[in-house]
Amino acid sequence: MTRHIVCAARDLPPGARKLVHLEGRPILVLNVKGEFHALLNICPHQGASLAGGILTGLVESGEPGDYRYSREGEILRCPWHGWEFDVKTGKSWCKPSRIRLKDYPVAVESGGALVEGPYVAETFPVSIDDDYVVVEVATARVAERGAAGG
Amino acid sequence: MNMNVAPGRVEAETRNVRLIADCDIHPTPNTTRDLYPWLDQRWRTHIETFGALRRQGVQQGPAYPKSQPDAARRDAWPEGGRPGSRLDFMQKQHLDANRVALGVLTTISPHPGAYQNPEMSAAFCRAVNEWQKAEWTAKDTRLKGSILVPYEHGDLAAAEIAHWAGDEDFVQILLLSRTVEPMGQRRYWPLYQAAQEAKLPIGVHAFGNGAHPITSSGWPSFYIEEMTGHAQTCQSQITSLVLEGVFERFPGLRIVVIEGGFAWLPPLAWRLDTHWTKLRAETPHLKRKPSEYIRDHVWITTQPMEEPQSRQHILDIFEWIGWDRLLFASDYPHWDFDDPARCLPIAISEDQAQRFFLDNALKLYGVDPAKAAAATLAA
Ligand code: FES
């Protein structure tokens, strides 16, 4: 496991997103209403970059003619064919058990805590008063591919 | 534990390893005014004064947006323009990234071929054709145009085909699938005669306004019904072309079904053959089984691809249709785009892939493989 500093927390306000490459993988980090999430940026359907998709809500219905709109801003819609993913779990809305985006642990840590760590990268822009968004990714040489969906 | 600072930049990757032909790419003028250089003042004034009358049934007009703004991939908007309006953006995002050696342009918005006013329809089709040549095919030799024709007016359509015949920038004639009458009817025969003489295939792309409801049982409530309904339109068009004897009369005619799906084609052929054994006397002008005309005269583009539970089913359907009849299409920049690197649900052999992704299209559209490769290198 390697932990990567993505940016200062204040640079990723609610509703914002940032695409980074960590360990050869494109990872999309999002701030949804103050909670940070990190997802593999490869749509499991045909591989689109999800970074260009909109964050939207969920339309649900108990029966025809009855509609509810909920979870505004928590559903990431693929920019190509519109598959919907739950940002919090990475699960797709159409087949949640089979098709999901890989998600990565994200934490917000203070600059002070980070500089105290034993293996701080030299390029880390330390300003120890700030909080930083940190994503944890398994170390790997080869970029992961999303599984083909159908 | 190691701590790294994440880079913010992601390099563009080439998504595809082989050269491909993409048989459904949609360029779009930003506005009708982009066509004005090729329109007489008479028609500029006309469209600004009266607009264009389309054959549109009891609905307000075509539904937009279709799933996404401008029915396009959200990442396909060039700065300051509509998706498909800028060549440099298309080159970077699609033609170069996906190694497109032949890109067949299918201009459908606008496709003025069904305008109610015949002369206006002809004038606007001519303008779109000139625009394709000036703005696209002349600037990137990987791209080839489709001739738009006023297809509801057989003689005018034939004249437009004759005008462009022999021009290597154009490789097919393009109709939309919702016509006023089934395509086998005689009003369309002059168009087929001209296509045969020009040795150009006819692409039939989903959509259009034929004045009829967009499903054969009336107007649906949802866009998803329109998407699915394209299959029935294409089925009735192929049925009509076969049974009216068009392929018997025009043996050189080649039809390309674009964006209508294709998994329905084998069962349609089976059904026609079954009926024909019993009802043959009604259409004595047919010399062969309906399925034989289909196999000889119909090509299909594979986007949108049906995605069955068992991936093997798609292969079975490909087998029936024939590996020489399949054309890869992406539908770029539209939202239901197929990615050439990811669209096939199952591995196919190298030989099949070569035909599917490139060779069939080069052959059908008469493009020299050496020229296509040179165009790719030059790009
Ligand atoms: S690539 Fe994301 S929905 Fe198809």
Share of chain B above pLDDT 70, in %: 94
Predicted confidence (pLDDT) at residue B254 exceeds the cutoff of 90:
yes
Cα B337 from Cα B24, distance rounded (Å): 10
Q: Are B89 and B137 in contact (CB under 8 A)?
A: no
Who has greater pLDDT, A128 or A39?
A: A39
Q: Please, which pLDDT band fits residue B251 given cuts at 50, 70 and 90?
A: very high
Predicted confidence (pLDDT) at residue A79 exceeds the cutoff of 90:
yes
Cα B4 from Cα A25, distance rounded (Å): 14
Output helix, strand, coil percentages for chain B, rounded to the nearest 5.
45, 15, 45
CA max distance for chain B: 82
Torsion of CA B299, B302, B306, B311, to 10 degrees: 100
Interface test with A, best of B2, B13, B73, B343 (most A CBs within 10 A): B2
Interface test with B, best of A56, A81, A106, A133 (most B CBs within 10 A): A81
Q: What confidence score (pLDDT) does residue B3 get?
A: 55
Measured N-to-C along each axis, helices B223-243 and B290-297 cross at an angle, to the nearest 10 degrees, of: 110
Predicted confidence (pLDDT) at residue B44 exceeds the cutoff of 70:
yes
Nearest alpha carbon to residue A101 among A52, A33, A32, A49: A49
Tell me whether residues A117 and B309 touch, CB distance under 8 A: no
Using CA atoms, how far residue B247 sits from B226, B244, B293, B319, in Å, is: 28, 8, 7, 23
Q: What confidence score (pLDDT) does residue A149 get?
A: 34
Contacts of A72 (CB under 8 A, 6+ apart): A56, A57
Predicted confidence (pLDDT) at residue B65 exceeds the cutoff of 80:
yes
Element (H, E) at B130: helix B118-132
Nearest alpha carbon to residue A45 among A9, A17, A81: A81
pTM confidence score? 0.90
Query: DSSP letters of A61-77?
Result: EEETTEEEEEEEEEEEE
Cα A130 from Cα A132, distance rounded (Å): 7
Determine the distance separating the centroid of ligand 1 and the alpha carbon of B73, expressed in angstroms.
10
Tell me whether residues B4 and A80 touch, CB distance under 8 A: no
Which residue among A1, A118, A124 sits closest to B5, beta carbon to beta carbon?
A: A124
Predicted confidence (pLDDT) per residue in B257-288, tens digit? 999 999 999 999 999 999 999 999 999 999 99
Neighbour count for residue B130 (Cβ, 10 Å): 16
Mean pLDDT of chain A: 86
Predicted confidence (pLDDT) at residue A143 exceeds the cutoff of 70:
no
Q: What confidence score (pLDDT) does residue B379 get?
A: 81
Q: What confidence score (pLDDT) does residue B302 get?
A: 96
User: Token pair of B160, please?
Assistant: 């437009």
Cα B303 from Cα A46, distance rounded (Å): 13
Predicted confidence (pLDDT) at residue B1 exceeds the cutoff of 50:
no
Q: What number is the ipTM of this complex?
A: 0.81
Tell me whether residues B5 and A26 touch, CB distance under 8 A: no
Cα B130 from Cα B148, distance rounded (Å): 10
Q: What confidence score (pLDDT) does residue A141 get?
A: 56
- The residues lining ligand 1, judged by C-beta closer than 6 Å to any ligand atom, are A 43, 45-48, 78, 80-81, 83
Q: What confidence score (pLDDT) does residue B198 get?
A: 98
Predicted confidence (pLDDT) per residue in A30-66, tens digit? 999 999 999 999 999 999 999 999 999 999 999 988 9
Q: Are B299 and B256 in contact (CB under 8 A)?
A: yes
Determine the distance separating the centroid of ligand 1 and the alpha carbon of A49, expressed in angstroms.
9
Which of B51-55, B142-146, B302-306, B368-372 shows the lowest per-residue confidence on average (mean pLDDT)? B51-55
